[in-house]
Structure 1
Amino acid sequence: MVESNPTVPLRSIQDHVQKMLQVGVSIHKVHREKATTTKQVTGDYTKQYEVLRDYLMELQPTNVGTSVKLEVVNEPNSAIETWQFKRVYISLGELKKGFKAGLRDILGLDDDFIKDPFPGQVLTTVVLASNNGIYPLAYAIVETENMSSWKCKFDKDAFEWLKKTPFNIGPEVIFRQSRIKYIAQLFVQFFNNKLSHGRNKPIISCLEYIRQYLMKRFCNVKKVVSKAPGPLTPTTSKLLERNREALVQNRARWNGTAKYEFYGPWYDHHVVDMTNTSCTCRRWELKGIPCRHAIATIHEMADIRDNVGELYTYVNKVYWLQTWNEAYSYTVDPIKRRTMLPKSTYPFQLTQPPHHIQSGDQRSREREV
């Protein structure tokens, strides 16, 4: 019962025992037995830190190209037999290959609290996929969210360049060619919500929960891709059709080159440049999907000359079904059970991390007030 539902309430267990065995037990005894069973199922919180290196050693060869970084509290010293865990970073090799195939190079970063005896935070790195869904890239368990825990993910030159940009300019303006219409929205929090049930588990069980979720997600997306008609992703097809349906009382005029002047109701007046695939409304340039002004222009082009091409060819390749399929063509490989993990040859023993007060914790803010 606890194995299938680790969050089952104590009262439910108490009622189940009384109903099935006709035995009355106290709530304190139920609490002790549930704690013992949970420890047997998920592993002891302290013990899992001792075998964390074994788990990481198994993860790298089974998922080729995986990047793993394990840090301890103090500088490595061979004279010290026990080192305290500080943070661990994992980026599976197949995810990195899929990220490169997805043609998007803008990442979203977020964190969430760990609910176990050793407080910490789960950091996640996510990119927006071709169907405007999430594509996980990397994850880490750290002591708290600060500059030190994020520094391994930052590029110094990019940071210096970004500091020169005015803060009142949004990401759509800064990263025009990245097609990130939804990058400012909460798609990263959506991924963290999917991992919420793993945040109360011991560290290896938590990492395994994330890896198994990624393995399952890739399989589910592959099923959707196999059923999609194409040539665009389902979400992109709907957006493009919506723009096409908005072409009532719209027309475009050719100037003899690659530029067209668009006329529409309510003083909707724009210039479309087919050479640069841009419109003065900037939606086509920012989203990578032709706006209704561009679609009207393409229809006008078809009346003037032949070989204009299908409408989907004017959509950025980020949104093509083929690109989505290539990003999810890779797989997250399974690993052996915990008792069969290779043994680390390092002479030191890894122990649980020291206690850290979590930044942003509601309870700490209440104490400060």
Structure 2
Amino acid sequence: MCQREVVQKVTFKDKHICAWSRDVKHFTYEFLATKLVAQLPSNPRLPAKAVKLQAETQYGMKVLKMKVYRALQKARSIVEGDYGKQYAHLRDYLVELKRANPGTTVKVGTEPCDGDATSMIFKRVYICLGPLKSGFQALGRDLLGLDGAFMKEPATGQLLTAVGVDSNNGIYPLAYAIVEKETYNSWLCETTQPGLLPAIEWLYPCAEHRYCLRHIHENMKKTWSGVAYKQMLWKCATSTTVPQFEHEMQKLKDFNEGCYKYLAKIQPHHWARSHFSGRAMSDVLLSNMCEILNRWLIDARDKPIITALEYIREYLMKRIVTVNNMISKSDGPLTPGATKVFDGIKKEARKYTVMWNGDQLYQVSGPHNDQCVVDMNARVCACRKWELTAMPCKHAVAALYHMGAFGARIGHLESWVHRVH
């Protein structure tokens, strides 16, 4: 028996009178994430508000904030790596880091997961790259600034940094760590402020410790604010001799005894140049070298662990190249930064007159009753600036001018500057 074929004719009408829907189930956060992957490398801090507006304008869809957040998170995990999965590859990354950078020190802290000794979870990591370590030792300037900055969600913990001062008076990053929080234990175990001071005192009992003068001023402002207090604080801190310091402190006492008593409780060897030794060969009063580094590393603080560590390493590598290129352009034996400072000192020295005592001592006198004794043999001046900075002060340079005028073989003035510059 023959079966008949049935054919149905369908007519398509492209005109619709129904309302346009802005809710499309296929417009998922996964779809939106695929469109964001191309944008994130050039704009890693792409704001959710901008993504929402762009998607609604381009596709004519209603986009919920939560969908945008999930799309951004998905896109970042594709571009930067998964936050959870990167911990499984952390040891492999650190092994490769040590292989590629001989002399590198790496320490990883872990703890048992829920009491299970066979399963460990990440706690903290500390890295000191071998080339940076060798460079810091060759620099010869025993000065480090230590600071911490919070990681940003979805990353957790804190980024700790150790930063020195290079020959060009710029920052010299030495070591960095990502820890669970800034405590005595995190500073003590993984690196060399709640936990910083006790850790340093225990590890390095002979170390000199300076407080950031800006932080002292911020605390002081809570009770004594105003330009006058700030100026008096700075005059006390920048005095390079004990008599000058005591004179400025007395002026503060006469102005406000309460503020004087507050400041007197802080040991001057922590914040006043008059009480610094010359060991560090730097008279810095601020911890802005750490703050500068933290500002440059801000884009690393919300990334997965390996991506964050790689961001820091790449920044340090690029910085070394930039600084080397800058120093290579210097015309003289000093770095560009030191040359600029020393040129200013030489200019000031021309205003001073010198008297020789017949040995290696010189009396140097200048404007505003400024008078000091310079010992050229010991390379020190009564103003203590030569001792503090390892660079001849204006009194010493004036003495060198005098020596040269009377036939002494002093060589280039820059040869009297310490090699750290």
Question: Does TM, normalized by the shorter one, top 0.5?
Answer: yes
Matches of 1:73 and 1:157, distance apart in 2: 23
Letter in 2 for 1:198: A
The answer (yes or no) to whether the contact 2:145–2:287 under 8 Å persists in 1 is: no
- Compared with structure 1, are the counterparts of its residues 252 and 57 closer, same or farther at alpha carbon in structure 2 (3 Å cutoff)? same
Matches of 1:225 and 1:196, distance apart in 2: 26
Shift of 1:101: 1.3
Counterpart residue number, 2:82: 44
Stretches of 4+ aligned residues off by more than 6 angstroms: none
The root-mean-square deviation of aligned C-alpha atoms, in Å, is: 2.3
Cα deviation 1:82-110 (Å, max 9, x = unaligned)? 21211111111111111111111221111
Residue 412 of structure 2: which of 287, 294, 310 is its match? Answer: 310
Counterpart residue number, 1:182: 284
Letter in 1 for 2:68: V
State the structure with bigger RCO (CA 8 A, min sep 6), 1 or 2: 1
Work out whether 1:300 is the aligned partner of 2:402.
yes
Work out whether 1:106 is the aligned partner of 2:143.
yes
Matches of 1:263 and 1:246, distance apart in 2: 12
The answer (yes or no) to whether the contact 2:350–2:398 under 8 Å persists in 1 is: no
The answer (yes or no) to whether the contact 2:142–2:279 under 8 Å persists in 1 is: no
- Compared with structure 1, are the counterparts of its residues 306 and 129 closer, same or farther at alpha carbon in structure 2 (3 Å cutoff)? same
Matched residues, number = 315
- Compared with structure 1, are the counterparts of its residues 2 and 162 closer, same or farther at alpha carbon in structure 2 (3 Å cutoff)? closer
Letter in 2 for 1:159: P
Residue ranges of structure 1 left out of the alignment (5+ in a row): 320-369
Matches of 2:208 and 2:143, distance apart in 1: 13
Counterpart residue number, 2:48: 10
The answer (yes or no) to whether the contact 2:112–2:118 under 8 Å persists in 1 is: no
Matches of 1:4 and 1:124, distance apart in 2: 27
Work out whether 1:71 is the aligned partner of 2:86.
no
Letter in 2 for 1:284: W
The answer (yes or no) to whether the contact 2:381–2:395 under 8 Å persists in 1 is: yes
Shift of 1:180: 1.6
Shifted more, 35-44 versus 151-160: the winner is 151-160
Work out whether 1:214 is the aligned partner of 2:342.
no
Letter in 2 for 1:297: A
Matches of 2:203 and 2:79, distance apart in 1: 46
- Compared with structure 1, are the counterparts of its residues 17 and 265 closer, same or farther at alpha carbon in structure 2 (3 Å cutoff)? same
Cα deviation 1:252-280 (Å, max 9, x = unaligned)? 11111011011212211110000011110
Work out whether 1:96 is the aligned partner of 2:121.
no
Identity level (%) = 40
Letter in 1 for 2:365: Y
Matches of 2:109 and 2:390, distance apart in 1: 41
Residue 83 of structure 1: which of 114, 120, 123 is its match? Answer: 120
Work out whether 1:258 is the aligned partner of 2:304.
no
Work out whether 1:271 is the aligned partner of 2:373.
yes
Shift of 1:11: 2.6
SS in 1 for 2:269: coil
TM-score by length of 1: 0.79
The answer (yes or no) to whether the contact 2:155–2:301 under 8 Å persists in 1 is: no
TM-score by length of 2: 0.70
The answer (yes or no) to whether the contact 2:375–2:381 under 8 Å persists in 1 is: yes
Matches of 1:260 and 1:177, distance apart in 2: 24
